[in-house]
Amino acid sequence: MSFSVTDFFSMTDFYSGAVFWFWLTLFSIAVVIFFERRNPSTTMTWLLLLILLPVAGLVMYFVFGENLRKKNSKKIQKMKDALLKADDTRAAYDLVYQIEEQKKWLDSEASDAFFNRDDKQAIRLLLNSGNTPVTMGNDLKIFEEGISKFEKLLEDISKAEKHIHMEYYIIKDDNMGNRLREALIERARAGVKIKILYDPIGCYPLLITRRHFFGSMRAEGIEIFAFMQDKRLYYRNINYRNHRKIAIIDGKVGYLGGINIGDEYVHEDPRFGFWRDTHLRFEGNAVVMLQMVFLQDWYHRTGRSEFRKSYFHVFDEPKGPTTVQIVASGTDSEHPTIYQSFFYNITHAQQSVYIQSPYFVPDEALLMALKSAVLSGVDVKIMFPGIPDHFTVYHASQSYLSEIAELGAKVYIYKKGFIHSKVMMVDHEFASVGTANMDVRSFKINAEINALIYDDETLCHLYDMFDRDLRNCELLDPDVYLKKTIRRRFVEGACRLFSPIL
């Protein structure tokens, strides 16, 4: 077989054309990133990655880099607004009316008996940015580890009579997952209608090698869907995950917090040992707000409006003393509401800011808010795990923690096992418990949901919980960072460099 000069030049032209189109694509993406009006540090990180590693950077941008909040939020928000204003939705539960009435009430003197000025400002912020009214008269139970949470959840499921709605980031085909599966199948056979939303990345083994897990439930009439932003382009969803962990049973009982479905959450993973987490169980009007979030997510995924009166239980009498505002955020919301809540409360702190989070990768604004709090004399305490579960995020977190500890914040390393709890408390006036970590991904990328708590009794329980956890911690010595090896400091610095896109 001969190879002519013409063939040579044809191949040369092909490769030259391919190189030309590659660099043109790279340049075009760089221009798009530049004009997207992102945070400057995020923009520079992506541009640096494209310059240093053009092939890998191009692939990573297509998978992780698209700003879907900017592209989709207005469209999705219009869809949500239309859904909430639809006649069938308002007939089931008129959230639009509730929000308007609560705004008027907060502006009146009648609300002064329940909230101070700062709390009213915080509540009003989230009413405007997230359409999330505050609810009063809730009964709340706090779970500090997985066994007690699962046992109570399974008990509530066994008592379900009408419907069960669940939305989880991770569901595993293990002992705990199968106990849940069997409980749901038993209720489905009893006539209970069950809907489940799951994240396709968090549950990927169930989609590849363990399809029977969901298949056995679908065979019993349980409706199960993956939560995706765009079903046509799967790769675009990899970076945008549904990190919510909620359950609503008969519209009367709701669950929210950090505990997924799997054996490690009940201390059965030898790598982590004891798994310290925080999860909440509600009875009261907070459950109505959880139901609203789930049904909006269901509509977003399936295109089917399931707003019915039967899904919204009317609580005529208070179930307990807890005051709660349920807040959800993600690329399906116009504003980063959880982030806004954290920023507002940290910048208004007068006495203390206590944080538990398995990841600590704040953006520049939140880091400056925390630094300013420390330097103004606010008692800032941060609790962080001593066991890494994600290499890059863990070492990036270490860099940020060392920096803020040098200014006077107290950083505690949890030693009993792994702490996955996502809690923030400010001035004994406010607390947040939920699924959002103290990192950029939770605030600006993932779909998250938190409970914001304002009543004294629940706040006292949470502060007592934090104090008990301190007994299993070691205080980080900021001078230790200066003694770290050059290699360790280089690793932490490199991981921190990419923190804006983690």
* SS3 at position 163: strand
- Let me know how long the chain is: 502
- 117 in any annotated domain: no
One domain, residues 60 and 74: no
The segment with the largest mean pLDDT, out of 151-165, 398-412, 475-489, is: 151-165
Confidence of residue 219 (pLDDT cuts 50, 70, 90): very high
- 128 in any annotated domain: no
* CA angle (279, 444, 419) in 5-degree steps: 35
Is residue 420 among the annotated active site residues? yes
Is residue 309 among the annotated active site residues? no
Confidence of residue 234 (pLDDT cuts 50, 70, 90): very low
One domain, residues 259 and 397: no
CA atoms of 224 and 203, how far apart (whole Å): 12
Please tell me the total count of domains within the chain. Answer: 3
Q: State the pLDDT at residue 48.
A: 66
One domain, residues 284 and 408: no
One domain, residues 218 and 363: no
One domain, residues 477 and 362: yes
One domain, residues 257 and 290: yes
322, 348, 377 - which closes a domain: 322
The answer to whether 343 touches 365, Cβ cutoff 8 Å, is yes
Give the tens place of pLDDT for each residue, 419-470: 999 999 999 999 999 999 999 889 988 999 999 999 999 999 999 999 999 9
Find the catalytic residue in 245, 279, 348, 410. Answer: 245
Distances from the Cα of 167 to the Cαs of 107, 227, 413, in angstroms?
A: 35, 9, 31
Find the catalytic residue in 416, 427, 455, 461. Answer: 427
322, 350, 377 - which closes a domain: 322
One domain, residues 190 and 303: yes
**Rounded average pLDDT over 95-108:** 91
Confidence of residue 81 (pLDDT cuts 50, 70, 90): confident
CATH number at residue 415: 3.30.870.10
One domain, residues 203 and 156: yes
| 93 compared with 41, residue with greater pLDDT | 93
- 132 in any annotated domain: no
Q: What is the extent of the structural domain holding 470?
A: 337-501
Q: State the pLDDT at residue 60.
A: 63
User: How is residue 413 annotated by DSSP?
Assistant: E
The answer to whether 220 touches 185, Cβ cutoff 8 Å, is yes
Is residue 250 among the annotated active site residues? yes
Tell me the average pLDDT of the chain: 86
One domain, residues 208 and 255: yes
Find the catalytic residue in 420, 439, 444, 469. Answer: 420
- 123 in any annotated domain: no
Find the catalytic residue in 174, 422, 439, 469. Answer: 422
One domain, residues 173 and 278: yes
Residue 289: pLDDT above 50?
yes
- 198 in any annotated domain: yes
One domain, residues 310 and 429: no
One domain, residues 400 and 285: no
Q: State the pLDDT at residue 235.
A: 46
Give the tens place of pLDDT for each residue, 139-177: 999 999 999 999 999 999 999 999 999 999 999 999 999
Q: State the pLDDT at residue 405.
A: 94
- 124 in any annotated domain: no
Find the catalytic residue in 149, 172, 195, 243. Answer: 243
